[in-house]
Amino acid sequence: MIFVTIVICVIIISICILDIITPYKYPIGPSRIPLIGNYLEIRKLRNELGFYHLVWHQLAKCYGQVFSVKLGRIEAVVVSGYDAVRQVLCKDDFDGRPDGFFFRFRAFYKRLGIVFVDGPMWNDQKKFCMQHLRKMGFGGDLMEKIIIEEVNDLMVDITIKCENGKPIEVHGLFDVSILNGLWTMLAGQRFELNDSRLTRLMELVHVSFRMLDMSGGILNQMPFIRFLAPNSSGYEHIKQILNEFYAFLKESVEEHKCEANYQEDFISAFLMEIEKNKDSPGSFSEEQLLVILLDLFLAGSETTSSMLSFTVLLLLKHQDIQDKVHAELDAVVGDREIQLADKKKLNYLEAVLMEVQRHSNVAPLAIAHRTIRKTSLQDYIIPKDTLVLASIWSVHMDEHHWGDPEVFRPERFLNSTGNIINDSWLMPFGVGRRRCLGEILAKTNVFMFIAKLIQNFEIRIPNGVQLPDTPQDGVTISPSPFSAIFIPRR
């Protein structure tokens, strides 16, 4: 009995020692606790600082721009600074995506979709998605036409809501309009701005993005926690959110199965591909379709909606900048309809939007990467299957490059002749092969909605209202709720 006890103790001690030992030439980091890693320290810093990207910034001050942490059971390297971030985003060795519990839990306990897969499957799915989305108008004249319709509908809606100088809640203002542009290409239909079902789904989008961080949260770091604390860990809530999303998406897919024309939209094209490959389905299945739709639904709505809300918030805080945008729009466009081609002539507005992307940092961390093989990063050796978090925030807020990164100053993107400066340090959509697939759609949406909004309205702060200074943390950053008065200009 004594011998067995000794053996068990030796095994436990050995496991604990092995759990905190790091490989040769691995980045240093804070001391680890066996089995839970750096969870307690990171949680403490997160509670103090309020944001995960500030936690990584604080640790980078202590351990350098490339350091390691143990997120529960997951080995992770956190990278800051232009050179190291760009190397992670551009080097093939870092092209993998995380493969933990949460990322499979959200995808029927498999590796499905397009955002969190890698290798041949990602290549095949990306090729298919881009090919068929382009057929549905993505990146072309049809996409612009769809967005203009949504923009005009929203302007009418705002005009009705702002009668008698009534303040309008900006949170959620753009949600349905933004999603409609994407959903028209995916499902061949759009929603009314007051559609209660879609309003509910967008509420779930916002809630889910606030519940997690880019690593997948505690459910990914310590999956066993769902058995011990199913509610406080968020497991039950996230499961409910996923069930509601998939119920909605399944309904759309079932409707398409009943339609005769299988070439009208992305869902129909994917169903045809499933039928074509039914003897050897490979990457094409109904579950894969549902997870792709979930990926595109989430990625195509939350970030763009938050970016638009941040733009309104910053224009409220900087009325002088808003006045300059008004003057430029009046001089270049006047009363006629704004077109995407006007973007080239509206340099000041473009500089404002670039500065919003830099200053607001909607996605302070790039979507988590994973090393697909043993590789090097600066002077370090990073083992295969290491989670890598790249801090876009650290690049956008670098004092040595920007000088005054905390200041909202669009002029930093204009040269002495008033032309745009394309600074490689601005990377809100990432860089490299895995940069955001929806970049063109997002940029077009932000330009068209803001240009039309400023052309039609003066945006003012309601009397007695204090605008929020602190945004909300999560997978992405979003403004805290605020309202604005929209005064028609014409």
Quote the strand ranges of 18-150, DSSP E: 66-71, 74-79
Residue type at 30 in one-letter notation: P
Nearest 5°: the CA angle 247, 108, 434 is 100
129 has binding-site annotation: no
Helix spans in 64-118 (H) = 82-90, 101-105
| HSE value, Cβ hemisphere, 13 Å, CA-based, for 369 | 31
Query: Phi then psi for 382, rounded to 5 degrees?
Result: -110, 120
CA separation for the pair 455, 329 (Å, rounded): 6
Find out whether 256 and 189 touch, Cβ atoms under 8 Å: no
Question: Beta strand pairing status for 387-390 and 369-370?
Answer: antiparallel
User: DSSP per residue over 424-475, as a string?
Assistant: TT--TT--STTS-TTHHHHHHHHHHHHHHHHHHEEEEPPTTPPPP-S-B-SS
CA separation for the pair 214, 364 (Å, rounded): 9
Interhelix angle 141-161/439-456, rounded to 10 degrees, is: 40
| Backbone torsion region of residue 292, taken as left when φ is above 0, otherwise alpha when ψ lies between -120 and 50, otherwise beta | alpha
| Backbone torsion region of residue 109, taken as left when φ is above 0, otherwise alpha when ψ lies between -120 and 50, otherwise beta | left
Which CA distances in Å does 65 have to 2, 226, 390? Answer: 48, 33, 10
Residues contacting 73, CB < 8 A, separation 6+: 35, 37, 221, 222
Of the candidates 77, 292, 97, 210, the one whose C-alpha atom is nearest the C-alpha of residue 476 is 210
Question: Which residue positions form the known binding site for heme?
Answer: 436
Question: Which residue positions form the known binding site?
Answer: 436
